[in-house]
Every structure is written in C-alpha cells, then in structure tokens.
Chain A
Amino acid sequence: MNNTKTIEELHELLKSGKITSDELVKESLLKSHEIQSSCNAFVTIMDDAKGGKVTDDLLSGIPYGIKDNYSTKGILTTGSSNTLKDYVPFFDATAVFNLAKHGAIPVNKTALDEFGMGGTGTTCHTGVVRNPWDLQRMCAGSSSGSAAAVAAGVYPYALGSDTGDSIRKPAAFCGIVGYKPTYGMISRYGLFPFASSLDHCGVLTRSVKDAAIVVDAMKGQDKNDLTSWDSNNIELYKNIDGNLKGKKLFYIKEIANLNNYPDASRELKEHLENFQKTVELLRNNGATIDEVSMDKTLLNAISSVYACISCAEATSNMSNLTGIIFGPRGKGSNVIEMMKDHRTKGFSPLIKRRFVIGSYILQRENQEKYFVNAQRVRRLIVDKINEFLQKYDALILPVSTGPATYLDGSKDEMTNDNSTLLEEHLQIGNFGGFPSITIPNGFVGNLPVGVNITGKCYDDINVLNIAYGLESLMPYKNQIAKLKEERHE
C-alpha cells in the first residue's frame, strides 16, 4: 500500500518515477470502495478521477479527500443533508481551489454530521459512519468520513472543518492528527457555514508534518472572505524543527486532573493516566508543564456558551435553505408553505432542534439573557486563556473521556449527560480562534486516544513544533487503523 505513506515519502516515490500519480489515484479509489463498504465514509467517490502532473510541489499528483461541506465545482456537494442531496456547486471553495493550484488530486467527498452540526457521524443523510478501528464504534464528528478515510489509509490527508471540535475529536477517536489553524488563516469561502464566528477549515492527516504541508497550501488571504488574513510570512512546513527545549506548557487542573473524577470509569482513568505519561515525556525532553487552576464556573459555561452562539448563528446561516433557488422544491399552495415543506422534510431532527434553540435565543426578549451573555462569557474565557498564553507557549489537554464510544445508544441529541468538561473543552479553541492540533498519544483498551495542543492566535508554527516534537517521541506517527480482528486481541 502506497497511500499509507507520508506526503514527503509519496513525493519522493513520484519524483523518482517508482510510482505514478495514476497508480496512487487508482489505489486510493480502490481503497475508498473498500472503506465505503465497512465504514460508510463517503458521499461521493470520484471513480473517474485521474492522476495529475508531478512537479516539485509536495502535494502534486497525490490523492486526497474533501469533506462534503466544501463546495466543489461540478461535483455533488451535499453537506450530508437531504436539503442539498442533489446540489452541484458551480464554484470551488477557496481552500479546494488553492490545493488544485498545488496539483493535489481529490478522489472523494467525505460524509459528515449534517452540515457539521453533530459530533457522532450518525446524522449524515447517507447513514452512520463507522470507526475503522472498530466498526461498532463511532468516529465522532463532524469530520467523520475524513477521519475514517485517513485513518484507514485511503490517502495521506482529507479536509475537515471545525466549529466545536469537529476535526480534533474525530482525529483522536481515529488515532490520527487533526489540525485547525488560527481563525481566518484558511478562507472559509465555499465552506457551508454552521456558525460563522466559530467555523474553521483544517485538515486530518497521519503526521504533524503532513498537516503543515497541507495547510501551507490551503491558506492565504482571500478577497472573498473578509475574515481571512495575510499569512504569507508564515511557512509552517519549513519551520518545523520539533525542538521542545524551553517550551512552556500548561494544562487546566479542573479538566485534566484525575482527582476531579472520583467515579471515573476504567477507560477514563487509563486515558488521564496516559495523558500524565505524555506530560512526563515532554518534561523529560526539555519542556516545562504546569498544572494551572481556572474558575470552574467559567469552565462549566463552555458548553452552554457554545450551544447559544453556534445554534443562533446556525439558524440564521441556514435560512438560505428554502428549496427555492437550490435543493428540492417543497410542496405547498404558497411560497411560505413550500419553504416549510422543504425544511420539514429536509432536515434531521437534531438540526431542527438546534434551529429552535437558536431562534429562541435570538428572540428579542431572550437575546440579552442568552445570546449577548454567551458572547460576554465567550470573551471572558478567551481573555483568561490569553492571559495564560502570555506566560505559556501552549495549552495541552487530553481529548474526550477516552477512546471512541460505541455507536449503540449514543445518538447525538445534544443531551447533557456527555457534557463533561473533557468532552467540551476543545470549543475553547473555536471561541478564541486559536490554532489547535490533536495528535494520537496512545491506546486505551486497544483503541487510540489523543492529546490536544492549543496556542496563541497566529502562533501556529509554535503549536506545530510542540506537536511535532511530541509526535517524534511516540510511536503513533502515521499509524493506520487495524480492525479488531486484525489486531489479534
């Protein structure tokens, strides 16, 4: 298998003529079909995809996957929603367009929780996405298909988007790398919006260096996205050295300390102990890591702040989905009835629930209490983290409460029973637009778990360096998912 290699390795093989781009693409398509039958990871597999020209560009001729909420010119783009089940955009998302300039070859469109509004991979209109390590378990979401495909070795990378943790949590559950750079580094033009102030583009890979290479190609100021900024002076790949000496990190006691969880399950206990091993590993290699304390009230507000802001923005962002201009036309005797019919039939119950919450929060009489207050608390949380980041290079925290959870009985319904800090803290990265990366840091019960590193805005190089340094100390770089039966348990 070639597509299990890193981008650098593949580039070498392509340059030396040992393999061709066509062979890589064929292999990738073959693997896509295999993974489709086991994991249901794709909305579209582009069977007519062909290899491309190989240049000095690291990405040239190498296949990759695109989350199905990135607009792709002439290629079905559904957002994994019935409301857009036949929608074919006539323009490329800027990130996709940028990758094409680098000679990257898209081979499939990956499934997601409908419009990115879920964290389980169970709300895609094409059905549930399964974890390639264990088909009974979820990939988390919303970049579920991308995570599954990269973990399974379909290609070295796939695009993701991240509004709460939609890149970084699936990466942890699938034992791979998930990176969302600073807000605005990659243009969002052409990305179907969920919550504009929280939405980030990013990538899922199997190594930190690959993530740097891909984001270098995706990023850039875009006249079509006013929130994008000029990052010409930031070269991620070239600046990766992995030096950990003198790096100062912190973790938040209220989130990561095992003592907070007297009734911890075996999995959670192992997961947090594993996190401490990672912390020790870093310390032994020249980094300092402090345990800091943060106001529990503020931390406990994270999930509600996220729910308020994301639902409010989402309900407005998705008001264009009426079936009038695009999407299946609804039935009714007047235009309002037609819109109602389209939306009633098109959206899954989870999304409708979020819309109701979003509308409620934005109502005149509720706005101050919920929406405006949520924004104030968002600001307080970001200020506090920024205060820490004045002293430290990065925040390091374990992702989730352990490895991937079972699909059975875990439909994403925005219930409160999984709202522990460990499940929600990655949203801090979206509140502040911070660069944030998840890398695998071990196994719990033979399933991968991840650790997250988050830094200051515009300090992506530092964050990637710490992640790269840590990755180099562990044996999980470029790991490919092995199904339970293959693992000889």
Chain B
Amino acid sequence: MSKYKAVIGLEMHCELKSKSKVFSSARNSYSDIPNDNVRPLDMAFPGTLPTLNKESVRQSLMMAMVLNCETPSYMYFDRKNYYYPDLPKGYQITQMHSPVGVNGKITIQINDTYKDVLIHDIHLEEDSASLDHYSDVSLIDYNRAGVPLLELVTEPCLNSADEAIAFLEYMRLVYQYCGVSDADTKLGQIRCDVNVSIMDEDASELGTKVEIKNVNSFSNVYDAINYEIKRQTELKEAGKYDEVVQETRRFDEETGTTKRMRSKVDAIDYKYFVEPNIPKYKINKEWLEEIRKNIPMLPHEREEKYINEFGLSKYDAQIIIKNKAYADYFEKCVALKMNPKLAANYLIVNIIAYLNKEEITLNEFYLTPELLNQIIVEFEKGTISSKQAKEIFNKSLEERKEPKTYITNDNVQISDEELLKNMINNILANNESQVQQYKDGKTNLFDYFVGQVMKETRGKANPNLVKEILKNKLDN
C-alpha cells in the first residue's frame, strides 16, 4: 500500500431533532409502532403539499456555519425524482441548486495531528420510509418518511479509514453538541455513503472512484474503506486496474466485503428541478446573526477550556468531551462550585464505570450533579471520609435515596479536634509501655495508636486529623 495513496470522500446523512417532520406536521420521533407518525403528505396522498419546518432550516444553517460554509441568500428546494417503494411521492425534496452551506472546512484531530477536512456542501432534505424485508413480503413503515435529514458531503480529501472515522466521530459530537441531532447510529440516525479510490503516491490525477452506498455504522465504514483499498490495490498490483470501474457498490456485513450494485452506465438521472410548492424566500440577515450567536461551544473548544481553566489533564478532558452528556454533567458540577478535578475524577472513575457496568446512559443515572454535590460537599468539609463517600455513593444508587439521608450523626466523621485530643491523651496514658517502645524506635507502633482511636470511635474519627494529633504528641 505504500506505493499508493487512498482518496476518500464521505456523504454523511444525519437525522435532525425537531417536533415535526421537515415538510409535514407529523411528529418527528422514533416510534416502535409502525406508521404511527404519519400525515397525509408522508404517504403522498394526492393533493397534499409540503410545508417547511423553520426549526430544521435553523439547525441546518447553524451546521453550515459550524462547518465554515458560505450560506445562501435565498432558501429554496429541489426535487430529486426516482421510483422506489420507500419514496412515496416518487421524488425526494432536497437541495441541489442552493444548499444551506457550500465550500466549508473543519479541523479535526487524529491522534495528535490536525487535519482540515474540506466540505463540498451541506444540504437539508427529507428521509425516506423504512423497509422491512421478509422472505415473501416487504413491509413499509412511513414513520421515517419526511424526517429532516442533513446531508454533509466532503471533498475527496481523506486518506485513510482512520481519518474517515475520526471525521465521522467528530461530526457526530458536533451534531450532539449543537443539539441538532442525537446522532445515534444504532437508531440509524447516521448513515454514510463512501467514495474510495486509490492513486500512485506521486500522481496528480485521481484514480477511479467507487461509491459504497448506505453504510450504516462507523465500524462498517471502516471495514468498507479498508476492503475497497485492498481490493483496488490488489487489482492494480495484478495489472488489472481497468477492472476497477466507476460504480456503486454496497457493503455486505456478513462477509465484510463490498458488492456491485450498478455501474456508472446505469446511473440514475434524478432529473432535479426546483420544488414549485415551496416558494423561494430571502434569508433574513438578522436571523442568520442570531443563529450564529447561538452556536454552542463545540467539543474541541470545551476540551481547551477544561485543560486551561479547570486544570484537567488532556487525557481526562478528552474522555469527558467524547460524550456530550458527560461534558454537560461535568460542567453542571463545576457550576455547583465543586472542585473540577474532583468532579472529573468522580465522573471518570466512579460514574462512567457504573454506567458501563449497568449499561445505562447518564440520563438514566440517578445521581444528578445536585445529588452528587451532597456527597462532595461533606467530603470536602471532612465530615465524611473518601471511603464513606464511596459507600454513600453506592448506597444512594442502590436504594435510590438522596445521599444526605445517609449522612447522619451515626456515620459522620469525628473531626472535633478537642474531643480527639482528649481521647488520644487518655489512650497514650493507658498505654505507657507502648509509648516508650515507640520512642525507642519501634515506629510501626504508630498504627497501633491510630487503631486504638478508631476502636474507641467505632471508625468514625477523621483519620487524617488523628494522625496529625498523634504525630504531634508522640514526636515532640
């Protein structure tokens, strides 16, 4: 492979979050009940007309801005015409002539290096219905028909499966951080088309491009790219590069290979033309400014803030930003005046581990930042030990009761210095021989005295304070 360079372009489709669908008033939400969220337009009943969801337009424009794209002065849509059972109208309303964003660029991090990914365009369109195939019948579910879909098209500027995945993962985060999509691949909210070609390392002309359509998970994107690179390279090595033809293939999950769907000769002419039922309208400049102002802090910006302002390690910061829920949780903790490092530590060591073990999300996690704060506050005051804090954390989760219910007089630490001093004085007076042995050099008896205090207080004495007092008494 060293002789050749892979050139990869991505088309990333992402379903947007909104109350209603992009061109109809049907609800836009995932439903297990088929054909639950359907209005007449979604099944293309004769005479129905599209409306336009302003929120979807806003979200698309925001993403165009995040990707540093040029935005158009006028908003209008196009029809992409083709027959398929998942496309009830026989055309998809999309944007071909004037996408919400063109000529963009975004910098992504791949391990420790940075790369600019060039964006050809980003456009708003509608999703198709979903098909369920059975042995003798196929069923159509129109819930997904008309769900707002944002399609992002990169330039062919990526050079490896790793880069492609880094880009996709970063974009997924960006969608989540901007609140425009849950971007959940498991629910099919992100789907990709991948273009792959190879070329001689020193060549200036691109090789023959092969498109792999509808790859539905990042790991499949990864496998599909690597398989294609391998396939094309082997053909090239064998002097059979002319067998690599411009065509559309699909990824076969079972075999981990790509299979031919249709060649360029059979490419569909989508007969695009401007959608006449959605009048072209001028995009208000003030509205654009308002959208720009409301772009939330992006993941890499948050990462920098965590490192520079909150003093987290890069490693910890990266773990936290990998999931918007983690980052939001962390920031809420900081807003509650928790020590950022302590909060980060709790999140990474205790909470994420718990979530993984229980296989739940942070949204389902009982201890909100406010509840966690009940533990942290007492711990920082020294009223409870770290061991106790951990116990309360677990108990609270187990019994789903507020942590403060476990912070009672029975289990709070004894941090009263006078009380401890008197107690220690008594213990030392009752153990004169041991004190003498300690002073003679048997220093490991120190733990014996600590143990005596703990015995007396049934383990509730603040250990640090006990050690401090003992040290003072014994060493002076």
**Do A and B belong to a common assembly?**
yes
State the A residues within 8 Å of B (CB): 69-71, 77, 79, 84, 87, 89-91, 93, 188-193, 196-197, 223-227, 312-313, 315-316, 318-322, 324-326, 335-336, 339, 359, 362-364, 367, 371
A69 to B47, CA, bound (A): 9
Contacts A/B (CB < 8 Å), 10 sampled = A224-B49, A226-B277, A227-B276, A318-B90, A319-B81, A319-B90, A325-B88, A326-B45, A362-B271, A363-B271
Flag whether B441 is at the interface (Cβ < 8 A).
no
A319 to B49, CA, bound (A): 14
* B47:A93 contact, CB within 8 angstroms: yes
Flag whether B430 is at the interface (Cβ < 8 A).
no
* A324:B85 contact, CB within 8 angstroms: yes
* A319:B83 contact, CB within 8 angstroms: yes
List residues of chain A with CB within 8 A of the CB of B49. 188-189, 224-226
* B90:A371 contact, CB within 8 angstroms: no
* A364:B276 contact, CB within 8 angstroms: no
Q: Is the interface of A mostly helix, strand, loop or mixed?
A: loop
Contacts A362-B271, A363-B271 given; does A320 touch B46 at CB 8 Å? yes
List residues of chain A with CB within 8 A of the CB of B276. 196-197, 227, 313
* B269:A189 contact, CB within 8 angstroms: no
List residues of chain A with CB within 8 A of the CB of B45. 71, 89-91, 320, 325-326
List residues of chain A with CB within 8 A of the CB of B382. none
A226 to B53, CA, bound (A): 11
List residues of chain B with CB within 8 A of the CB of A69. 47
Please, which residue of chain B has its CB at the minimum distance from the CB of A199?
A: B276
Please, which residue of chain A has its CB at the minimum distance from the CB of B269?
A: A364
Flag whether B79 is at the interface (Cβ < 8 A).
yes
Question: Smallest Cβ distance from B342 to chain A, in angstroms?
Answer: 53
Flag whether B91 is at the interface (Cβ < 8 A).
yes
A79 to B46, CA, bound (A): 10
Q: Is the interface of B mostly helix, strand, loop or mixed?
A: loop
List residues of chain A with CB within 8 A of the CB of B79. 316
Question: Smallest Cβ distance from A218 to chain B, in angstroms?
Answer: 15
Flag whether B52 is at the interface (Cβ < 8 A).
yes
Contacts A313-B276, A322-B83, A325-B88 given; does A226 touch B50 at CB 8 Å? yes
Report B25-46 CB contacts with A as 1/0, cut-off 8 Å. Answer: 0000000000000001001111
A190 to B79, CA, bound (A): 20
Please, which residue of chain A has its CB at the minimum distance from the CB of B48?
A: A189
A91 to B45, CA, bound (A): 10
Q: Which 3 residue pairs across A and B have the least CB separation, nearest first?
A: A319-B90, A362-B271, A320-B44
A193 to B43, CA, bound (A): 15
Contacts A84-B46, A188-B49, A193-B47 given; does A316 touch B83 at CB 8 Å? no
List residues of chain B with CB within 8 A of the CB of A225. 49, 277
Q: Which of B47, B85, B271 has the most CB of A within 10 A?
A: B47
Flag whether B324 is at the interface (Cβ < 8 A).
no
Number of B interface residues, CB 8 Å? Answer: 28
Please, which residue of chain A has its CB at the minimum distance from the CB of B278?
A: A226
* B47:A191 contact, CB within 8 angstroms: yes
Contact of B90 among A190, A224, A316, A364 (CB under 8 A): A316
Please, which residue of chain B has its CB at the minimum distance from the CB of A363?
A: B269
Contacts A71-B47, A193-B47, A312-B273 given; does A227 touch B279 at CB 8 Å? yes
Report B46-76 CB contacts with A as 1/0, cut-off 8 Å. Answer: 1111111000000000000000000000000
A373 to B359, CA, bound (A): 60
* A371:B47 contact, CB within 8 angstroms: no
Question: Smallest Cβ distance from B146 to chain A, in angstroms?
Answer: 13
Question: Smallest Cβ distance from B280 to chain A, in angstroms?
Answer: 11
List residues of chain B with CB within 8 A of the CB of A318. 90
* B91:A319 contact, CB within 8 angstroms: yes
List residues of chain A with CB within 8 A of the CB of B269. 363-364
Please, which residue of chain B has its CB at the minimum distance from the CB of A324?
A: B85
List residues of chain A with CB within 8 A of the CB of B50. 226
List residues of chain A with CB within 8 A of the CB of B273. 312-313, 316, 362, 367, 371
Contact of A190 among B47, B83, B138 (CB under 8 A): B47
* B52:A226 contact, CB within 8 angstroms: yes
Contacts A89-B45, A223-B51, A227-B279 given; does A322 touch B90 at CB 8 Å? yes
Please, which residue of chain B has its CB at the minimum distance from the CB of A77?
A: B46
* B47:A320 contact, CB within 8 angstroms: no
Contacts A362-B273, A364-B271 given; does A335 touch B85 at CB 8 Å? yes
A191 to B47, CA, bound (A): 5
Q: Which of B50, B83, B279 has the most CB of A within 10 A?
A: B83
List residues of chain B with CB within 8 A of the CB of A90. 40, 45
Question: Smallest Cβ distance from A375 to chain B, in angstroms?
Answer: 9
List residues of chain B with CB within 8 A of the CB of A190. 47-48
List residues of chain A with CB within 8 A of the CB of B90. 316, 318-320, 322
Please, which residue of chain B has its CB at the minimum distance from the CB of A191?
A: B47
* A339:B271 contact, CB within 8 angstroms: no
Contact of A320 among B88, B277, B278, B279 (CB under 8 A): B88
Report B428-472 CB contacts with A as 1/0, cut-off 8 Å. Answer: 000000000000000000000000000000000000000000000
A267 to B140, CA, bound (A): 58
Question: Smallest Cβ distance from B46 to chain A, in angstroms?
Answer: 5
* B89:A319 contact, CB within 8 angstroms: yes
List residues of chain A with CB within 8 A of the CB of B52. 226
Question: Smallest Cβ distance from A166 to chain B, in angstroms?
Answer: 16
